[in-house]
A = this chain, B = another copy of it.
Amino acid sequence: MAEERPPESETARVVFLPSGRRGTFAHGTTLLDAARSLGVYLESACGGRAICGRCQLLPVFGSFAKHNIESQPDHITAFSDVEARFKTDFGLRPDRRLGCQTRILGDMVVDVPPDSEMHRQVVRKRAEGRKLPLHPATKLYTVAVDEPDMHHPSGDLERLVTALESRFEVKVERCAPSVLRSLQKTLRAGDWKVTVAVHDDGRGPPTIVAAWPGSHNKLLGIAVDVGSTTIACHLMDLNRGRTLTSSGIMNPQIRFGEDLMSRVSYIMMNPDSLDDLVGAVREAIDALVGKVVADVGAERSDVLEAVFVGNPVMHHLLLGIDPTELGGAPFALATSGAQTLAASDLALELARGASVYTLPCIAGHVGADAAAVILSEKPYRDDLLTLIVDVGTNAEIVLGNSERVLACSSPTGPAFEGAELTSGQRAAPGAIERVRIDAETLEPRFKVIGCDLWSTEDGFEEAVAVTGVTGICGSGIIEAIGEMFLAGLLTTDGIIDGAKAAVSPRVVGDGRTFSYVLADGPPALRITQNDIRAIQLAKAALRAGIQLLMDRLGAASVDRIRLAGAFGSHIDVKYAMLLGMIPDCDLDKVTSIGNAAGTGAQMALLDTRARTEIEDVVTRIEKVETAVEPAFQEHFVAAMAIPHKTDPYARLASKVPLPERTASAGAARGGERRRRRRGTPQARTGETQPDET
């Protein structure tokens, strides 16, 4: 204990808003510890080391008669150097404090910011702030209801229904049993004025799903993107169409398998485990709901609607359906259609009458998340040909315009996410995400997540002292390989040129192949020949899928390209094109669209017309199964080259001078080997070991 800190016997009262939870704490207690002891939802992932930034709080100063508290600036410890560094590194809004660094010195009122969110590196999926059309399935109505009359006996519910029809022309046909059970008390508590939530999605009988005495104006919904790795939840105000807060959580199913197919395999091997996987994802969603409603001071019972999107396996597991059929040909979905069900069917604790909508799936590998992306981008409304690519462990590819829309998926594997690579890691603080290599010296410089300085700039060492330089994330790998190619370190076939070892000590022999040392470490971070092969395989699979759709459409080029998802948000599109992940296109027509799946889910949450629209579009989408297309192998082999064996990438070359084409004879052979579709990443990587040198 430092001497300047008051003795522990002194205590202070602290109130957390908006929940109003209060407690008395010893001076010196951190706000994070105080919040936790009261059950105020505040996350911390870094063990109080001022790294994760999840415990942000807003101290509020002034005289709070209601709480009988004088909240003064000197009732907490001053803004510390540690916080200042966090602010420099990661950004921190004015007046915000880190709960883990701020200690109580006197009575305080502290606000948990409604937009408090998890650290951006952990949850990159965020929906943008664009204004979305509002026509929700559930709406609020406040009405006065006639009191019962013995001489004209009718039920309280029936008089309520009559009032709704005469006042709002809303024809209610049903009432949720849970609402009916307490309706008499609700009506009398509000002195015959009541607010009801009516669910009417145009597909079932309009139903009263919630009731409050008197006036009530809080009506919330959640739009959830259930990813294999991350589950992202957006809490929305269904009255105003605004996103109130967004948050994410790791998908706890990860303990059953890192990627989709390993989870499906797990269930195939352990049939009794289905309930465990289903329960894991539902519980995670339920916890996430608890967090987002707490963040804005709302109640679970205010959440009347939920919309879910996800890939087919996540979609099925969320619904409690065994995904085994999705694990092998013919990749049969239990259902491709949109589903409307009750929140209780998914064991979610929302309002008791809450309903759930899941977007339709497109095919066995192209899920409701892809449908949501399509809904968000609406390529079917435009004459220009749009290519949408959402890269995860599977890449979903959509190509189309107002005439036709095609979709497929391609098994890119986890390489783009930095997994299975020698120095790869997930996107997180400390990961290299930007790379430049001097074409003459072959010396690299790089940036890591959480720091705006290049590794060659002054102060970089200090800035990254906390996180270290721990690995290379997906976008870092793409840039590194792109830069290696531009610097002449790589042949067109993707072989690290061993002759360069004479030019730079960074090119080092590695058995029969060579590696490039990107960072000296510790740990030393290298890019090996195997790493490049893994990325080549992934990008060739993606590019071959795109080419299949272009062939099917008879399109020689696309008018614009949209990169969706977390990977798409962080990649520099120039390098994506340089590597030939995407076809040649004007670079300024290639844009990242962020978490378009989340945006699509929000649209469907806010607007029942959007549901009808995407369901209609999905039935018209032409699905292409890459696994059985004979041309896939040919396209795949051509796409192994950098950027491509046959496509000159003329538009790109006009902006970025591409190296002269070079090829080592053996490389193509390795690529031509028949590739095991949907094999494990290890098997695939092993299969394509280059056998030259």
Closest to A154 in B: B336
> Are the CB atoms of B153 and A336 closer together than 8 Å?
yes
* Nearest CB of B to A54, in Å: 34
Report Cα–Cα, A628/B185, bound state, in Å.
25
> Are the CB atoms of B320 and A177 closer together than 8 Å?
yes
Report Cα–Cα, A250/B58, bound state, in Å.
62
Which residues 320-337 of A have a CB within 8 angstroms of B?
A: 320-322, 325, 329-337
A153-B363 in contact given A177-B341, A180-B321, A184-B332 (Cβ < 8 Å): yes
Residue A173 at the chain B interface, CB threshold 8 Å? yes
> Are the CB atoms of A183 and B334 closer together than 8 Å?
yes
> Are the CB atoms of A334 and B625 closer together than 8 Å?
no
Which residues 257-316 of A have a CB within 8 angstroms of B?
A: none
Closest to A363 in B: B153
Residue A155 at the chain B interface, CB threshold 8 Å? yes
A150-B330 in contact given A158-B336, A335-B155, A337-B157 (Cβ < 8 Å): yes
Count residues of chain A with CB under 8 A from any CB of chain B.
50
Report Cα–Cα, A319/B345, bound state, in Å.
20
> Are the CB atoms of A152 and B623 closer together than 8 Å?
yes
Find A337's partner among B149, B158, B181, B364 (CB 8 Å cutoff).
B158
Residue A404 at the chain B interface, CB threshold 8 Å? no
Residue A148 at the chain B interface, CB threshold 8 Å? yes
> Are the CB atoms of A321 and B153 closer together than 8 Å?
no
Set of chain B residues within 8 Å of A329, measured between Cβ atoms: 150
Closest to A356 in B: B177
Residue A339 at the chain B interface, CB threshold 8 Å? yes
Report Cα–Cα, A649/B334, bound state, in Å.
72
Set of chain B residues within 8 Å of A361, measured between Cβ atoms: 155
* Nearest CB of B to A325, in Å: 5
A175-B330 in contact given A180-B321, A322-B185, A623-B153 (Cβ < 8 Å): no
A153-B331 in contact given A177-B341, A204-B204, A339-B180 (Cβ < 8 Å): yes
Which residues 624-640 of A have a CB within 8 angstroms of B?
A: 625, 627-628
Stoichiometry, as copies per complex, reads 2
Residue A19 at the chain B interface, CB threshold 8 Å? no
Report Cα–Cα, A177/B331, bound state, in Å.
21
> Are the CB atoms of B336 and A155 closer together than 8 Å?
yes
Set of chain B residues within 8 Å of A628, measured between Cβ atoms: 150-151
Set of chain B residues within 8 Å of A204, measured between Cβ atoms: 174, 204-205
Residue A467 at the chain B interface, CB threshold 8 Å? no
* Nearest CB of B to A267, in Å: 13
Residue A89 at the chain B interface, CB threshold 8 Å? no
Report Cα–Cα, A185/B271, bound state, in Å.
13
> Are the CB atoms of A337 and B625 closer together than 8 Å?
no
Find A333's partner among B147, B154, B321 (CB 8 Å cutoff).
B154
* Nearest CB of B to A94, in Å: 48
- Contact code string A168-182 (vs B, CB < 8 Å = 1, else 0): 000001110100110
Residue A513 at the chain B interface, CB threshold 8 Å? no
Report Cα–Cα, A570/B651, bound state, in Å.
97
Residue A512 at the chain B interface, CB threshold 8 Å? no
Report Cα–Cα, A175/B337, bound state, in Å.
10
Find A325's partner among B154, B184, B205, B341 (CB 8 Å cutoff).
B184
* Nearest CB of B to A515, in Å: 40
Report Cα–Cα, A226/B215, bound state, in Å.
37
Find A334's partner among B173, B180, B325, B330 (CB 8 Å cutoff).
B180
Residue A677 at the chain B interface, CB threshold 8 Å? no
Report Cα–Cα, A339/B149, bound state, in Å.
22
What are 19 inter-chain pairs, A to B, with CB distance below 8 A?
A150-B329, A153-B333, A153-B364, A155-B336, A158-B336, A173-B203, A174-B204, A174-B339, A174-B340, A177-B319, A177-B320, A177-B339, A177-B345, A180-B335, A180-B339, A181-B319, A184-B321, A184-B332, A204-B205
Q: A153-B625, A158-B335 are in contact. List 13 more A-B contacts (CB 8 A).
A: A148-B330, A150-B330, A150-B364, A150-B628, A151-B623, A153-B331, A154-B336, A156-B325, A175-B335, A177-B341, A180-B321, A181-B319, A204-B205
